[in-house]
Amino acid sequence: MVAVKLLGIAPYEELNQSMHIIGTQYQDVETTVYTADLEEGQKLAISLATEGYDAIISRGGTAKLIQRAVSLPVIDVSLSMYDILSAIRLAENYTKNFAIVGYPSITEKAHLLCDLLGYNIEIHTIDEDIDAEEVLDSLAQKNYELILCDAITNRIALLKSLNTILITSGFESIKNAYQEALTIVKHVNQEKRKRAILEQGLLSQEQDFLIFDASYQIQFTNLTTEFAQEILTYLENKPKKEAQQYYSSTKEQFFTLTTKEFTVGSDDTYSSCFVKEHQAPITRNKQDVYYQRKAEVAEKFSAKLLFTQFIPESINQEVKKNNDYYQTYLVFGESGTAKKNIAYRIFLDQKQDQNFLITINCKLATDK
């Protein structure tokens, strides 16, 4: 079973071959290596980022471009002092008249090496603001016979017919990149496992909940997207407090929403919301307010058949006439006007089975 799957994107063919050789030294590691430089390497990484790779190994400017475009860990095959010294020694076999041109990953180490060993070598650093072509044209005018450079500069120099030596990463540098990749992947997998345990533990509980950020964006939930969004819309219009309990209803269901705010790090604020469903409205039946379902009303109505004879025929006819146009009625009147009987009759004739009959004793109810 393959434990780690690595993607290698080498800016030049020699690095591709070296990465293949190093990759075979690691068991339980599957390495796929392509040769692609700069934007081409970035596009390749984007297209392969969802293919199940755990990390990407590349080098120099190509590695930087890939880091900007994908969420996978990207490990840069850095150059060692030994890699640069080997290139200088090789150049000295041909001429003393040579210069070093490259990105900071090369030139910073080259400067340090020259200071330590007392080399007097012209070194030029290129980046997004300094054009490699201009630097190479300047060195050609100074009659430099050989350029030590990275893959990007090497490609431009060859087009200008300049002699070059490519400063390559040695086996030790590539091996260090592999070790770093495996270490990072191990830590990432450990964090993924911890997250999976927490998620599965939460999902295994028979508790509906969601977690959202300060902008009311869902971070995690076991609710349907539609229902979670409906709850967030409701909460967004409520005063924000560290902890609060709200009561809501949707699609003829009733819920208690218990929210709790918490902070991750120093600035990031999130909120958890636990959702509890109720079979009846949150307000309990009290002396002044009663909630009754259809079955309960039907039972009471059938037990007192004489109720029907107290409903005037004119009202019966009016109710039948309006049944197709109204779903909600407000029935009120003085004592002895059979308002309860009328309300029962109207409620039982409605086609909706999920609505409640709400009875309010206005005599006992307060202004609130």
pLDDT digits (tens, 9 = 90+) for 177-232: 999 999 999 999 999 898 888 888 877 877 888 999 988 999 989 888 888 898 88
Distance CA 140, CA 199 (A): 62
Q: Which two tokens stand for residue 253?
A: 């269901």
- Is 165 or 329 the better-scoring residue by pLDDT? 165
Answer yes or no: same fold for 4-77 and 81-166.
yes
Residue 153: count other Cβ atoms within 10 Å of its Cβ: 26
Predicted pLDDT of residue 288: 66
Q: What is the CATH number of domain 4-77?
A: 3.40.50.2300
Name the average pLDDT for the chain.
Answer: 84
Lowest mean pLDDT among 1-10, 142-151, 212-221, 282-291: 282-291
Lowest mean pLDDT among 78-92, 175-189, 232-246, 292-306: 292-306
Give domain 81-166's CATH architecture. Answer: 3-Layer(aba) Sandwich (3.40)
Query: Could you tell me if 275 and 223 are in contact, meaning their C-beta atoms sit under 8 angstroms apart?
Result: yes
What does pTM read for this prediction? 0.62
- Is 95 or 292 the better-scoring residue by pLDDT? 95
Which of the four pLDDT bands, split at 50, 70 and 90, describes residue 352? low
Beta bridge partners, 250, equal 253
Give the start-to-end residue ranges of the domains of the chain.
Answer: 4-77, 81-166, 207-278, 289-360
Query: Could you tell me if 132 and 61 are in contact, meaning their C-beta atoms sit under 8 angstroms apart?
Result: no
Q: Which two tokens stand for residue 351?
A: 């086609």
Q: What is the CATH number of domain 207-278?
A: 3.30.450.20
Distance CA 10, CA 59 (A): 7
Predicted pLDDT of residue 2: 59
Distance CA 168, CA 141 (A): 26
- Is 280 or 212 the better-scoring residue by pLDDT? 212
Query: Could you tell me if 150 and 38 are in contact, meaning their C-beta atoms sit under 8 angstroms apart?
Result: no
Predicted pLDDT of residue 104: 85
Q: Is 216 left (phi over 0), alpha (psi -120 to 50) or beta?
A: left
Lowest mean pLDDT among 93-102, 115-124, 339-348, 359-368: 359-368
53 pLDDT above the threshold of 60: yes
